[in-house]
Chain A
Amino acid sequence: MTQMKMTFKQFESLVVSYGGQSERWPVDLRKAALQFMGENAKAKEIAGQALNIDRFLDAVPVPEAASDAFLERLHRISSEQTNTVPSKSKRQNVIQTLLDLAGLSMPRPATLIPQAASLFVAGLVGIMLGLSTFGIPASAERADAYAYMFGNPSLETELLELD
């Protein structure tokens, strides 16, 4: 893959959005941005300025972990609340079990729309091609010739002369 060349405007936009710490930059831009910063003193300067905001954000303490009492409250949910498992038909259950075994998920009707549309278009094109290849003979004379040929394949040359 070719390395994208970054402009100053792109670099500035990256830094004002994501800050001055390169590990926070989007992965797909990081390499180009680091290269640009290495070659451009002004870029290095604005990344340094952005680090001040990063330091402010780092100053916000990490909230305390959950207390045992709170965890117990959460654990009680499964004994106090009803878990509404949707009922499935026997057929759906069999399909689901097979999909689970194969590590797949049940396709939703909405996800099948593109495949159905593709099949429909392919079918339509097939019918149109079929009609154009085996079109109805243009005249009664040709129709007779087709019927004669299919009855007597050896007379194909006669038909070619008609065409």
Chain B
Amino acid sequence: MQDKKGPYTSAHTDLGLNAEPDHKLVARIAKGDRAAFAVMVDRHTNRYLALAHRVLGRRDEAEDAVQEAFVKFWKNAHRYERGKARFTTWFYRIVVNQCLDKKRQRRLLTLPEYYDAVDEGPGPDEAYREKQLAEYVNDALKQLPERQRLAIILCYHEGLTNKEAADLLEVNIKALESLLTRGRRGLETSLGEMGKTLLDMMDQS
């Protein structure tokens, strides 16, 4: 019997539940099974937190977006239809929508967009150059239009297939490829000579 109060972690669950596939756990969650929810949280949080962090560029907002997505999942698990999409694709859409909502709120509040501060302390040259390059690329990604950036994050960083990414963005594959092409060209233009210089320096080190 599950206790009514207090966090329910997957440590409470038996090994059998941990081995169950997503769709079976979702069916349990739809009936209010907290242990199944705990397993899904442990199984998927890192993946979606990374996605939200990449889309939003801020850790605090990424955590809020993922938390809100999991609240929606807990409340609406009965709406998941196994035949229509894999759980991961279905939940991608919830997380991406939460992230876009956060961005809209940010625009209304005119909060600045920034990437989490990188430790500026002195370190080995190579590590410093890597940080510098990461900052350049993050800045360049930030300058891309929202959908081009999302297309790159979903296909490149998240490793979704073109079909999955196109479904998430609600476009056909041709349109997705157009977003990717324009995004990559935009990135190349933004990074310009400085980016190439940093890559050359990394090659030499």
Contacts and interface: CB of A to CB of B under 8 A. Distances in A.
A47 to B, nearest CB: 13
A77 B42 contact: no
B29 A83 contact: yes
B157 to A, nearest CB: 7
B188 A72 contact: no
B96 interface: no
Given A56-B140, A105-B83, A81 B75 contact: yes
- The A interface is mostly helix, strand or loop, or mixed, namely helix
Contacts of A86: 78
A71 interface: yes
A13 B181 contact: yes
A66 B62 CA distance: 11
Interface stretch (B46-54, B86-94, B103-111): B46-54
A66 B157 contact: no
B137 A56 contact: yes
**Interface size bucket, A side?**
35 or more
B138 interface: yes
Contacts of B31: 85
A75 B137 contact: no
Nearest to A107: B83
A62 B158 CA distance: 10
B14 to A, nearest CB: 17
A63 interface: yes
Interface of A: 13, 16-19, 24, 26-27, 50, 52-57, 59-66, 70-79, 81-86, 100, 105, 108
Given A56-B199, A63-B50, 8 more contacts: A16-B180, A16-B181, A60-B134, A65-B46, A73-B63, A73-B67, A77-B41, A85-B78
